[in-house]
Amino acid sequence: MKGMAAFGAGAGLMVINPEFLVSGAAAQAGKQLVFLSAENITGNWDPTAHTTLSQKNIEGFVMGFLTRTPMRVEKPDEVIYELATKINLLEPTKLEIKLREGVKFHDGKPFKAEDVKATFEYGSQPDRPAQWYPGSTETLTITTPDDYTVIVDTSKGGYPAHLFIFLASYLPMLSATDIAAGPSGPLSQRLNGTGPYKFVEQRGNDTVLEAYSDYFLGAPTIPGISFNFVGDSTTRMLSLMNGQASIVERLEPEQVATLQGNEKVAISSVVSVENKYLWFRCSKPPFDDPRVRMAACHAIDRSMLLEILGEAGHASANYVSPVKFGYIDLPNYPEYSPEKCQALLAEAGFPKGQGLPELEYITSVGFYPKTKEYGEVITAMLQEQGFPVTLSVLEIAAWNERLYDRPGGGPGHMVDCGWSTGSPEPDLVLRTHFHSSSKRITGIVDPELDASLDKERSAASLEERKQILQTETMPMIAAKVPSFSLFTSVMIHAMDKSLTGLFIYPDGSMDASKGAFA
């Protein structure tokens, strides 16, 4: 019997063969950049067909842009020319774009003015889902005096042409040939750009890119990029720690603390273009009354939310991120004040919250950091002031299904959501959400807000527009509070320390053309 026991124990030790295990790990080594994304992509490669951040990140590697805007807090208006060499505002409604010569798309087609014209005309079609343009195709007249000059005339739309200056950094340039084949053609099947990396194939959840040797700013050093969707943040972190991943995104604050002590990992924190909001359903009671909305805002102590978020949150007091054009800390932005909250509730006919209907606050879990945790705190703070609120924590798909406004008001009464657009253009947030022509989540219809948003959009110059935004439009939104911007997200990436030269934009997209592994 003893012999058998010893045999069992001895054979147990034989199971582990260190040589085999070590050789297995060696097989991981590779030179390409492995990016682990927190979000999945869509089933359509057409850049005008989606608003999905992860796919915008892939486009950042592959596509070319007329300009780039680094959008740092200290210099939010900075513009760097790429496919454009110059942008001139000829008249308030006429913009001239001069293009770089000698640039080729990945399929070999030379980049010319016809591509810019086709991209703008196609992207502004009313049926294109992304809808980033200030007006539809009919409001634009685009001419190409020569192969490297584009004139954008917005006089038919009645809005200024300078709106295209910031937008130029956000709109990937498509090939006119691809566009001519229609929306069901190659546009939806693959990416074809002028950027530093070429799209090779989609292999399951792995988007395979390879360096474009004819890139006009010089061939990239890193030979390829593998862009993978990995849903679990711990899995992403472990993958970075064991050397399988080169860079991971959307770190939880606790993970930052863990990785900061790791000598092989570098952390990049960038104040992002994304603000996180508590959106009110403004088209149905009780939040159709701005006094009730304002009372709810005064019930929330945002400094406590920032404590929960740690490194993932940045204090701001406006409806756009500090890296967006026109940002200021608004003097009238609602502060935590239980007294004001109670006074407004009483004025609205709900003293101490009595008479308010049961309210539902919807939030998500799994994508944004700490939503459940700070959602519980907000719920408790609202309850403390008499709001009969319950919190619904939904996984991403269910939350996404209930997010947007519907006829008669969207589901629930308040919704948590961020809004991120990789351009300094503030209207990508303000007009999208607070103009009655869009009102994505809030459902607000307010003629005064419409008029102010139209006025700032139609300003003749950027300076004039900035002034209107800062002194009229933004303060008006803060007074009517169709939503409450809680904080600005900090985009946290962790990467292999030997990876240098990578530039991360505040929307999470990156320029890897100068990246290299030391």
Partner 1 sequence: MFIISFLVRRLAQGALIIFLVTLLIFTLLRVVPGDPVRLMAGGMAPEALIEQIAKEMGLRDPVLVQFGRYMSGVVRGDLGQSFVRPASGASTGGSSFGDATRGERADVLTLIGETLPMTLQLAFLAIVFAMLFSFLVGIPAGLSPGRWPDKVAFYVSSIFISLPGFWLGIVLALLLSVKLGWLPAIGYKGFAYTILPAIVLAVELSPVLIRTLTGSISSAMMMPFIAVGRVRGLSQRRIIFAHALRNASVPLLNLLGIQISGLLGGVLVIEFIFDYPGLGLLTINAVLQRDFPLIQGIAIVTSVIFVLINIAVDLIATLIDPRLEY
Task: Tell me whether residue 331 or residue 407 sits nearer to partner 1 (CB atom).
Answer: 407
* Binding pattern for the stretch 385-424 against partner 1, x by CB under 8 A and - elsewhere: ----------xxxx-xx-xx-xx-----------------
**What is the separation, in whole angstroms, between the first and last Cα of the chain?**
59
Residue 364: strand pairing partners: 394
Among 94, 110, 229, 393, binds partner 1 (CB under 8 A): 229
Out of 124, 144, 239, 272, the residue judged to bind partner 1 by CB under 8 A: 239
Quick one: 86 or 203, whose CB is closer to partner 1? 203
**Tokens 């009780």 sit on residue:** 286
- How far is 40 from 56, CA to CA, in rounded Å? 11
Q: 210: which strand partners?
A: 198, 224
Q: Least Å distance between CB 127 and partner 1?
A: 7
Q: Does 231 bind partner 1 (CB under 8 A)?
A: yes
Asked if 436 touches partner 1 (CB under 8 A), the answer is no
Q: Least distance in Å: CB of 182 to partner 1?
A: 8
Selected from 33, 35, 38, 54, the binder of partner 1 by CB under 8 A is 54
How many CB atoms are closer than 10 A to CB 339? 8
- The edge-to-edge listing of strands for the beta sheet with 94-99 is 84-91, 94-99, 149-153, 141-146
- Contact window for partner 1 (CB under 8 A) among 196-204, 305-313, 382-390, 462-470: 196-204
Residues in the chain: 518
What is the C-alpha separation between 364 and 157, in angstroms, rounded? 38
Q: Does 102 bind partner 1 (CB under 8 A)?
A: no
Outline where DSSP puts E strands in 239-380. 247-248, 265-280, 313-314, 359-365
CB of 193 to partner 1, least distance (A): 18
- Under 8 Å CB-to-CB from 363, ≥6 apart: which residues? 371, 372, 375, 391, 392, 393, 394, 399, 415, 416
Q: Kindly report each contact of residues 473-477 with a partner whose C-beta sits within 8 Å and lies 24 or more positions away, as own/partner.
A: 473/430, 474/318, 474/319, 474/320, 474/326, 474/328, 474/330, 474/430, 475/330, 475/331, 475/332, 476/448, 476/449, 476/452, 477/319, 477/430, 477/434, 477/449
Q: What single string gives the DSSP state of each residue in 181-208?
A: T-TTSHHHH----SSSEEEEEEETTEEE
For 298, the token pair is 């005064």
Rule CB under 8 A: is residue 187 a binding residue for partner 1?
yes
442 sits near partner 1 (criterion: CB under 8 A): no
Q: Residue 384 carries which side chain, given as an amino acid letter?
A: E
CB-based burial label for 289 (10 Å; 0-12, 13-18, 19+): middle
Compare residues 78 and 395 and give the one whose CB is closer to partner 1: 395
Distance, CA of 1 to CA of 83 (rounded, Å): 80
x-or-dash string of contact with partner 1, 444-463, rule CB under 8 A? --------------------
- Closer residue to partner 1 (CB): 317 or 414: 414
Site for partner 1 in 113-152 (CB under 8 A): 127, 129
Q: Name the residue nearer to partner 1 (CB basis): 244 or 467.
A: 244
Does position 204 interact with partner 1 (CB under 8 A)? The reply is yes
Which residues between 302 and 341 bind partner 1 (CB under 8 A)? none
263 sits near partner 1 (criterion: CB under 8 A): no
Binding string to partner 1 for residues 476 to 515, with x set by CB under 8 A, is what?
----------------------------------------
Which listed range, 70-78, 204-212, 266-274, 289-297, lies at the site for partner 1 (CB under 8 A)? 204-212
Nearer to partner 1 among residue 9 and residue 518 (C-beta): 9
CB 352 within 8 A of CB 386: yes
Contact flag: residue 518 with partner 1 (CB under 8 A): no
Taking the CA atoms of residue 193, residue 197, residue 199 and residue 205 in that order, the dihedral angle to the nearest 10 degrees is -130
Among 33, 38, 49, 378, binds partner 1 (CB under 8 A): 49
- What residues line the site for partner 1 (CB under 8 A)? 1-2, 4-5, 7-9, 11-12, 15, 18, 21-22, 24-25, 27-28, 39-46, 49-52, 54, 127, 129, 183-184, 187-189, 201-205, 207, 228-232, 234-235, 238-239, 241-245, 395-398, 400-401, 403-404, 406-407, 440
